[in-house]
């Protein structure tokens, strides 16, 4: 049972300071009423957090600027990061715009994120009526809708309880950590009185929904190879790489991606030879390898077939549609032996599992994983939170202190 300490206030309203790292969801949902006349409950926000991508070609420059401005992802310079980002974005915009034109005129990640979040909330309204209605939101780090846009909408909608649901299944300080740091900046800017109680699903690398959805898609893709070679096709699980200076801080990402791969292979009864490889490295610095492109070149002439599986992505975007499909498969002289496993996108198995994951999170009353404080001890940033408890949980105690002053 959660302990509550009653604190005195200058008003006759009851406020509680929670003394554990959990939040009483039932209390928030059943007592926090909307000021509207019909006295309906405020929605429980399910906020899908991801890097995002430009939905149109014209948004490419802004996307690149936001990306290269992020010191958590690309540590360049505390003082001059934004200036340098402006010039890098300008230099790279033209070539990246061409890539987005090739894949249909923009990234589909917003479309899929909004669809997944919407379907998850429909399921939750049925499976967890205690916290209904559940309302879907998307908060991207580098593309529209940015975190500040989404937070403003939360406040407009009267949200009192929100789950920051990282759509990076495997935690990295440079991705999920960056999104949490940005959320904290927007809380301080837009919600200093802490009207929204936040919790976080910060990692889920071996959750059954993820593993079963990947395994199902892999089985379907393998069935497209001829039966005589099917069991000998090499599975190349490809994840976005990290610079080694980030890995060497103790970042959790490599181990958690490896955990996902192993769990998927276990689900498949280790039916095929497999390897974990890494893509999307840029610049002269050492990055985590082996590189997807180089391994595919080496194995191409020797293998019965290669199946590329985007293991760290939950929907299609430029790294799957251009980098793998165009840059690796179509460009290879062995492309007749290469296939890419479909991304999770609208998978019913996946979406139902995401709803299960949110329900489990709500049922547990957990604010964040036990690993998250250590992630922020090890992670390096120019503008970090000091501890997840700053961001997540009931911070009405801050309001109480202000009332007492007055």
Give the start-end residues of each E strand in 126-187. 134-140, 161-166
Judged against a pLDDT cut of 90, whether residue 340 lies above it is answered with yes
- Identify the weakest region by mean pLDDT among 61-65, 67-71, 159-163: 67-71
Name the phi and psi angles at 135, rounded to 5. Answer: -120, 130
Q: The domain at 208-345 falls in which architecture?
A: 3-Layer(aba) Sandwich (3.40)
Q: Give the model's pLDDT for residue 21.
A: 52
Judged against a pLDDT cut of 50, whether residue 217 lies above it is answered with yes
Task: Choose the catalytic residue: 356, 375, 383, 394.
Answer: 356
- Give the chain's count of helices (H) and strands (E): 14, 10
Q: Give the model's pLDDT for residue 22.
A: 53
Whole-model pTM? 0.86
Q: Give the model's pLDDT for residue 404.
A: 55
How far is it, in rounded angstroms, from Cα 178 to Cα 171?
11
- Identify the weakest region by mean pLDDT among 18-32, 183-197, 247-261, 281-295: 18-32
- Among candidate residues 172, 130, 134, the one with its CA nearest the CA of residue 381: 172
Residues of the chain with CATH 3.40.50.1400: 44-202+349-381, 208-345
93-136 pLDDT, tens digit each: 999 999 999 999 999 999 999 999 999 999 999 999 999 999 99
Contact at 8 Å (CB) between 166 and 200? yes
Name the phi and psi angles at 201, rounded to 5. Answer: -100, 100
- Identify the weakest region by mean pLDDT among 2-11, 146-155, 295-304, 395-404: 2-11
Q: Give the model's pLDDT for residue 402.
A: 53
Confidence of residue 70 (pLDDT cuts 50, 70, 90): confident
**Pairing outcome for strands 161-166 and 234-240:** unpaired
Q: Give the model's pLDDT for residue 191.
A: 95
Confidence of residue 381 (pLDDT cuts 50, 70, 90): confident
Q: Give the model's pLDDT for residue 342.
A: 96
CA distances 35 to 12, 55, 158, 403, Å, are 18, 36, 9, 21
Contact at 8 Å (CB) between 307 and 233? yes
- Report percent pLDDT > 90 for the chain: 77
Q: Give the model's pLDDT for residue 266.
A: 98
Judged against a pLDDT cut of 90, whether residue 216 lies above it is answered with yes
- One of 1.10.3720.10, 3.40.50.1400, 3.40.50.620, 3.20.20.70 is the CATH number of 44-202+349-381, namely 3.40.50.1400
Q: Give the model's pLDDT for residue 353.
A: 97
Q: Give the model's pLDDT for residue 42.
A: 94
235-274 pLDDT, tens digit each: 999 999 998 989 999 999 999 999 999 999 999 999 999 9
**Continuous segment of H or E residues that includes residue 192:** none
Q: CB neighbours (10 Å) of residue 318?
A: 21
Asked about 356 being catalytic, the answer comes back as yes
Judged against a pLDDT cut of 60, whether residue 401 lies above it is answered with no
How far is it, in rounded angstroms, from Cα 125 to Cα 121?
6
Confidence of residue 159 (pLDDT cuts 50, 70, 90): very high
Q: Give the model's pLDDT for residue 1.
A: 38
Average pLDDT taken over every residue of the chain: 88
């Amino acid at each position: 049972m959660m302990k509550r300490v009653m604190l005195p206030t200058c008003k006759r309203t009851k406020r509680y300071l929670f003394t554990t790292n959990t939040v009483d969801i039932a209390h928030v949902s059943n007592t926090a009423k909307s000021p509207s006349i019909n006295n309906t409950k405020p929605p429980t926000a399910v906020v899908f957090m991801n890097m995002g991508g430009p939905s149109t070609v014209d948004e490419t420059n802004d996307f690149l600027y936001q990306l290269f401005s992020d010191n958590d992802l690309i540590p360049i310079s505390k003082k001059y990061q934004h200036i340098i980002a402006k010039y890098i974005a300008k230099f790279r915009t033209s070539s990246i715009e061409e890539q987005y034109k090739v894949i249909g005129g923009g990234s589909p990640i917003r479309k899929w994120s909004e669809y997944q979040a919407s379907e998850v909330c429909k399921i939750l309204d049925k499976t967890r009526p205690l916290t209904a209605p559940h309302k879907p939101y998307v908060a991207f780090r580098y593309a529209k809708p940015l975190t500040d846009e989404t937070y403003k909408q939360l406040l407009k909608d009267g949200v009192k309880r929100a789950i920051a649901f990282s759509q990076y299944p495997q935690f990295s300080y440079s991705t999920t950590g960056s999104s949490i740091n940005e959320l904290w900046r927007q809380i301080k800017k837009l919600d200093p009185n802490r009207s929204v109680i936040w919790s976080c699903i910060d990692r889920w690398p071996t959750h059954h929904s993820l593993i079963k959805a990947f395994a199902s898609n892999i089985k379907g893709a393998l069935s497209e190879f001829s039966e005589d070679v099917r069991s000998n096709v090499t599975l190349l699980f490809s994840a976005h790489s990290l610079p080694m200076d980030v890995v060497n801080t103790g970042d959790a990402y490599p181990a958690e991606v490896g955990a996902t791969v192993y769990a998927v292979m276990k689900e498949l009864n280790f039916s095929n030879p497999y390897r974990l490889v890494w893509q999307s490295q840029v610049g002269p610095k050492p990055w985590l390898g082996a590189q997807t492109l180089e391994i595919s070149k080496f194995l191409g002439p020797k293998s019965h077939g290669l199946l590329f599986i985007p293991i760290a992505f939950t929907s299609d975007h430029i790294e799957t549609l251009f980098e793998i499909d165009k840059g690796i498969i179509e460009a290879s002289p062995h492309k007749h032996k290469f296939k890419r496993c479909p991304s999770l996108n609208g998978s019913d198995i996946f979406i139902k599992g995401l709803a299960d994951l949110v329900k489990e999170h709500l049922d547990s009353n957990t604010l964040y994983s036990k690993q998250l404080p250590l992630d922020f001890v090890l992670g390096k940033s120019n503008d970090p939170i000091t501890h997840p408890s700053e961001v997540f949980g009931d911070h009405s105690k801050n309001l109480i202190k202000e009332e007492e002053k007055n």
